[in-house]
Chain A
């Protein structure tokens, strides 16, 4: 069965510092992988997705993620955090035939001035 884990339910960084949010997955088939961001009282917004091809995926708002098959990881990074990046971040992958997306538990990012 497909599964997603996100290490760290809460990550705090200083403004201007590197952002690293971790996502590891388990999949019986080559995975598609997604990162979504959710600002307070809003819906989920697609940040980026990996399908096939280039393993470094660039998304919106300066975020990128690297697919590493050997480590079963898809960590999200941003070189310099901004106050507006404070939000909840979810990693997800399709669940397979007849199954819905599997969402990770989420990581709340706080950005300190």
Chain B
């Protein structure tokens, strides 16, 4: 089983709202990733947790706050977002830790719209 699940599938929020995206995998993978994807572009890396520690923060604004409660869960907390943050947010996981050559398995994504 190579499934990564994400909830919610769609999210519409105002600029003053606080919301969270959730990602889950039960494959025993040691690295989990958040990506942002704009239309007709490849995914852009935002954060990486490797062995439950934040390994990479790609200069993401503080209105995005990641959290890794345990080895299977990854959250992305959203606050005071801007309309330009509207995008597809993808979660991924890989067997090896950060920087490995292992396959990254992606979830179905959350389509976020900021009004």
Interface residues of A (CB under 8 A from B): 32, 34, 36, 41-46, 49, 51, 88, 90, 94-101, 103-106, 108
Contact between A43 and B107, CB atoms less than 8 A apart: yes
Contact between A100 and B42, CB atoms less than 8 A apart: no
B74: CB under 8 A from chain A? no
Q: Please measure, in the bound complex, the distance between the C-alpha atom of A56 and the C-alpha atom of B101, giving whole angstroms.
A: 19
Contact between A104 and B42, CB atoms less than 8 A apart: yes
Contact between B101 and A32, CB atoms less than 8 A apart: yes
Interface string of B1-45 (1 = CB under 8 A from A): 010101000000000000000000000000001000000111101
**Total number of residue pairs linking A and B with CB closer than 8 Å:** 51
Which range holds the interface residue count of chain B? 20 to 34
Q: List 23 A-B contacts (CB under 8 A).
A: A32-B101, A34-B103, A41-B109, A41-B111, A43-B90, A43-B106, A43-B107, A43-B109, A46-B2, A51-B101, A90-B42, A94-B99, A94-B100, A94-B101, A95-B99, A98-B98, A99-B99, A100-B56, A103-B43, A105-B41, A106-B40, A106-B41, A108-B40
